[in-house]
């Protein structure tokens, strides 16, 4: 077995996704604790504990207690190398999450036992299902009152379109919660609230054993026996092949904040989750075990360390071995680049790496060479597929409130746009800048980051716009005539491409009817 094959076999790269507040970032923290990557978990929303979570490192994340950028964390567990990508749950940052899903091989979906399946979870799981990504479901907050476990499974199947098979089952819930029976490991994990050690594990290969009553009481023992019989008859037996094809989703129950049920989830995950999978390009399918290196950029983050004004491109290694100080071919720019300090991540903490293997995420210091979706290879021209881009729905004119800070204002806007958090348009008629975003919260984040990371104060003005459409025409003269005639409705994006800014659906239809030779596209073609 070659070094490359060995390294591929021990890697697991996955994302944790959920609706906001389902406990996704808390679960990430507990997984890191088990991996020995951190010594104490941060409280996402506790004022008593002044430590913030490892994966939320931006100022605005610490302030609001939500994740707005994908974080990458690597740790070792049971001789395996685990890469977790913690994603924003808030729908205003869905674009960042959709892109992250292109860089992982499997996902864990976190669902709040009281709220059940929520809107954002539906959207994210739909993206995973389209890609046949293997999914594990973790039903969280069992120490609180919530929905009946069977009702939840029905809801997951109906709303998410997943075929589920429970690998653990709760004994009680909320005040009555006594623990979880692991159908996978055949043991009873007992919940001990208000103590440092929140779980005891008792081997139970046969639930008819009368000793069960001694642990969870007569009523819950009877319930657990009855429910386990129903589980065996109603739900399919677990099959790893079916899970890897995305046809079946194992379900676990627990309480991340109490560190309960997390070890069982992690132990099963490392056994069944896929090692790095092939990736599809426009040219061909790339296998991880190929000798030649390839990878793609799925995220760009400016100012991970505001003191150093650094910009980092997150690269998913797809095949071969990435090596420090080796020249690689940048496909879009058609030139070779060399990286002297590629880094691995523990959220904002970074270490320089000499080698990276398929499944790893490497941070590359970037002076403006990268855009989202860019490919790096050992020489072959490859274009990786499946990188989504969205037409903005909310528009604002952006003003620089401090004329003395014109340079930081322009630089900050340029760098934040490269991250893909928003799109910037410059109006043809007066040169004014318009920001287009998918969700309102993105506007707050841009304003906050421009001030705190670049020292530029900005304000917004409303602008009455419905859609941004990229326009093109094979005939140059026709395009010039259109540009002159409709200049008040036109802008340029950061690439200099022409964009039609429609004030209403009616205006857009009129423009399309009056200029049939012009093509109007809802997405830029990168």
- Judge whether 5 lies within some domain: no
End position of a domain, from candidates 272, 306, 338: 272
pTM, two decimal places: 0.75
End-to-end CA distance of the chain: 39
End position of a domain, from candidates 228, 245, 272: 272
The tokens describing 266, both together, are: 């992690």
Residues 346 and 469 in one domain: no
pLDDT in tens, 85-141: 876 644 544 566 777 888 899 999 999 999 999 887 887 888 788 788 999 999 999
- Judge whether 33 lies within some domain: yes
Distance, in Å, from the CA atom of 216 to the CA atom of 207, rounded to the nearest integer, reads 12
Do 135 and 165 meet the contact criterion of CB atoms below 8 Å apart? no
Residues 179 and 309 in one domain: no
Residues 46 and 183 in one domain: yes
Residues 65 and 208 in one domain: yes
The mean pLDDT of the chain is 83
The tokens describing 85, both together, are: 């990508």
pLDDT of residue 296: 95
Calculate helix-pair angle for 218-234, 149-160, nearest 10 degrees: 30
pLDDT surpassing 90 at residue 357? yes
- Judge whether 82 lies within some domain: no
- Judge whether 1 lies within some domain: no
Provide the CATH number for the domain around residue 309: 3.40.50.300
pLDDT of residue 500: 92
Do 420 and 455 meet the contact criterion of CB atoms below 8 Å apart? no
Residues 256 and 364 in one domain: no
Mean of the pLDDT values across residues 61-79?
A: 60
Residue 48 or residue 512, greater confidence: 512
Distance, in Å, from the CA atom of 114 to the CA atom of 329, rounded to the nearest integer, reads 50
pLDDT of residue 248: 95
pLDDT surpassing 70 at residue 512? yes
pLDDT in tens, 147-188: 999 999 999 999 999 999 999 998 888 888 888 888 888 888
End position of a domain, from candidates 247, 272, 297: 272
Residues 163 and 229 in one domain: yes
Residues 108 and 228 in one domain: yes
- Judge whether 150 lies within some domain: yes
Q: Which domain holds residue 359?
A: 279-377
Do 360 and 9 meet the contact criterion of CB atoms below 8 Å apart? no
Provide the CATH number for the domain around residue 436: 3.30.70.3280
Burial class (CB in 10 A: 0-12, 13-18, 19+), 466: middle
Residues 415 and 351 in one domain: no
Q: Which of 219-228, 373-382, 388-397, 449-458 has the lowest mean pLDDT?
A: 388-397
pLDDT of residue 66: 36
pLDDT surpassing 60 at residue 290? yes
Calculate helix-pair angle for 24-34, 262-272, nearest 10 degrees: 80
Percent with pLDDT over 90 in the chain: 35
pLDDT surpassing 70 at residue 41? no
pLDDT of residue 50: 37
- Judge whether 81 lies within some domain: no
pLDDT of residue 194: 63
pLDDT of residue 91: 52
Residues 502 and 486 in one domain: yes
pLDDT in tens, 401-439: 998 888 989 888 887 777 777 888 999 988 999 998 877
Residues 267 and 288 in one domain: no
- Judge whether 382 lies within some domain: no
Residues 265 and 363 in one domain: no
Split into its structural domains, the chain has a count of 3
Measured from the Cβ of residue 271, the count of other Cβ atoms closer than 10 Å reads: 12
Residues 474 and 346 in one domain: no
- Judge whether 387 lies within some domain: no
């Amino acid at each position: 077995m070659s070094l490359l094959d060995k390294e591929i076999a021990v890697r697991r790269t996955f994302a944790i996704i959920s609706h906001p507040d389902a406990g996704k970032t808390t679960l990430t923290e507990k997984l890191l604790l088990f991996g020995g990557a951190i010594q104490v978990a941060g409280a996402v929303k506790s004022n008593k504990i002044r430590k913030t979570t490892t994966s939320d490192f931006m100022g605005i994340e610490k302030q609001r207690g939500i994740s707005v950028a994908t974080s990458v964390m690597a740790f070792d567990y049971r001789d395996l190398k685990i890469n977790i990508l913690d994603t924003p749950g808030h729908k205003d940052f869905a674009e960042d999450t959709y892109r992250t899903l292109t860089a992982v091989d499997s996902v864990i979906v976190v669902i709040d036992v009281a709220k059940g399946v929520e809107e954002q979870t539906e959207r994210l799981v739909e993206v995973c299902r389209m890609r046949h990504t293997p999914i594990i479901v973790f039903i969280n907050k069992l120490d609180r009152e919530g929905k009946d476990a069977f009702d939840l499974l029905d809801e997951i199947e109906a709303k998410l379109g997943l075929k589920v098979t429970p690998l653990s089952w709760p004994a009680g819930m909320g005040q009555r919660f006594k623990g979880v029976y692991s159908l996978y490991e055949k043991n009873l994990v007992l919940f001990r609230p208000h103590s440092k050690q929140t779980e005891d594990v008792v081997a139970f290969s046969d639930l008819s054993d009368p000793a069960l009553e001694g642990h969870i009481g007569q009523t819950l023992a009877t319930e657990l026996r009855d429910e386990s019989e129903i589980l065996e008859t109603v739900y399919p037996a677990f099959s790893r092949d079916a899970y890897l094809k995305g046809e079946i989703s194992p379900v676990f129950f627990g309480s991340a904040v109490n560190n309960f049920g997390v070890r069982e989830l992690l132990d099963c995950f490392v056994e069944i989750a896929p090692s790095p999978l092939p990736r599809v390009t426009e040219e061909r399918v790339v296998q991880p075990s190929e000798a030649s290196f390839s990878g793609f950029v799925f995220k760009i983050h400016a100012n991970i360390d505001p003191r150093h004004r650094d910009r980092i491109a997150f690269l998913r290694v797809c095949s071969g071995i990435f090596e420090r100080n080796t020249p690689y071919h940048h496909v879009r720019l058609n030139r070779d680049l060399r990286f002297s300090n590629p880094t691995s991540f523990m959220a904002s903490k970074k270490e320089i790496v000499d080698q990276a293997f398929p499944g790893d995420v490497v941070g590359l210091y970037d002076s403006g060479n990268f855009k989202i979706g860019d490919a790096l290879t050992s020489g072959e021209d490859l274009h990786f597929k499946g990188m989504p881009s969205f037409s903005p729905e909310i528009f604002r004119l952006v003003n620089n409130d401090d004329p003395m800070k014109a340079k930081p204002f322009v630089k900050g806007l340029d760098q934040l746009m490269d991250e893909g958090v928003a799109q910037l348009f410059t109006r043809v008629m007066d040169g004014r800048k318009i920001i287009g975003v998918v969700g309102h919260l993105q506007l707050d984040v841009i304003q906050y980051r421009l001030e705190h990371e670049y020292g530029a104060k900005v304000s917004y003005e409303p602008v009455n716009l419905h859609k941004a459409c990229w326009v093109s025409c094979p005939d140059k003269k026709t395009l010039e005539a259109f540009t002159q005639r409709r200049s008040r409705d036109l802008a340029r994006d950061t690439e200099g491409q022409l964009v039609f800014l429609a004030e209403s659906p009616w205006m857009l239809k009129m423009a399309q009817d009056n200029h049939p030779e012009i093509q109007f596209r809802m997405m830029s073609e990168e």
